[in-house]
Amino acid sequence: MKNNTINKKEIEKFSKIAEEWWNPQGKFKPLHKFNPIRISYIKENIINSFKLSNKQKPLHKVKILDIGCGGGLLSEPMSRMGAEVFGIDASEKNINVAKLHAKKNNLNINYKCASPEKFNTKIKFDVILNMEIIEHVDDVEFFLKSCSKLLKKNGIMFVATLNKTLKSYLFAIVGAEYVLRWLPIGTHEWEKFIKPDDLISMLKKYNLEMELIDGMKFDLIKNEWSVSSDKSVNYIGKFIKN
């Protein structure tokens, strides 16, 4: 049995460009474009599930674990909405960038360099974010099992990733990396993409039931992302631990 999900090659890839995290025109430009739709999707679903009603701090006191948090692009908005945020990443460089940026913005976020199986905590989280991370880890099943252990009963796990289709190969790799040059070449490996049905059955083993699954679509004309019924490239799932 493996006891480690860290893919060294993937970590090095992101560590090399770590100082670019907060540059909206830099190497993570596509993620900055993607962020608003991710934030609103997560926020609305948490509010609806937990029946929250605080207008000023909509996620007040919700314990969130952001796995593969990178430079903190999702951790920070969650913290601003009142959540108690923990962010973990296997890249020391990413964590240092995240800590520095949070400090500059007076945000109290608990960042730690760790992977879920090596994250020592007694806390069980209300929400776990696995956003665009499972396509970069070794042994997805063990990774998801480790994440599940950190989630409390009736907690929510969000998983966003790429579908394994011909369209995703053409759009996410050929289009985004080679034609449009949105992403550094080699960012994604199609073999690591996961079909929604495979993800659903994997998570079922660890007591996580799918509540909903949606596609995420980029509109080249409007230059923005939206939630869509088309799951053939990007998709996001909401899973409840029973």
- In tens, the pLDDT along 95-121 reads 999 999 999 999 999 999 999 999 999
pLDDT at position 165: 96
d(CA 237, CA 241): 13
**3-state secondary structure at position 59:** coil
**pLDDT of residue 1 exceeding 60:** no
pLDDT tens column, 54-89? 999 999 999 999 999 999 999 999 999 999 999 999
Residue 179's pLDDT is what?
Answer: 75
Residue 59, domain CATH = 3.40.50.150
pTM over 0.85: yes
pLDDT given at position 67: 98
Q: Residue 16's pLDDT is what?
A: 87
Total domains in the chain come to: 1
pLDDT of res. 188 = 85
| Token reading at 44 | 């609305």
Looking at residue 162, its pLDDT comes to 94
Share of the chain above pLDDT 70, in %: 99
Tokens of 58: 């909509």
Indicate the DSSP class of residue 164: -
Is residue 122 assigned to a domain? yes
Arithmetic mean of pLDDT, 202-216:
98
Condensed to tens digits (0 to 9), the pLDDT of residues 146-199 reads 999 999 999 999 999 999 999 999 888 887 877 777 777 888 888 899 999 999
| 3 assigned to some structural domain | no
Residue 1 lies in a domain: no
Question: From CA 102, how far away is CA 1, in angstroms rounded?
Answer: 37
Detail the DSSP E strand segments found in the chain: 63-67, 84-89, 110-113, 125-131, 151-162, 208-219, 224-228, 234-241
- Name the residue range of residue 87's domain: 8-241
Q: Examine residue 2 and state whether it is found in any structural domain, yes or no.
A: no
Q: Is residue 135 part of a domain?
A: yes
178 occurs within a structural domain: yes
Query: Does residue 2 register a pLDDT over 70?
Result: no
Average of per-residue pLDDT values in the chain: 94
Mean pLDDT along residues 214-235: 94
The answer as to whether 29 is a domain residue is yes
Interior angle at CA 68, CA 129 and CA 150, nearest 5: 50
Is 172 among the domain residues? yes
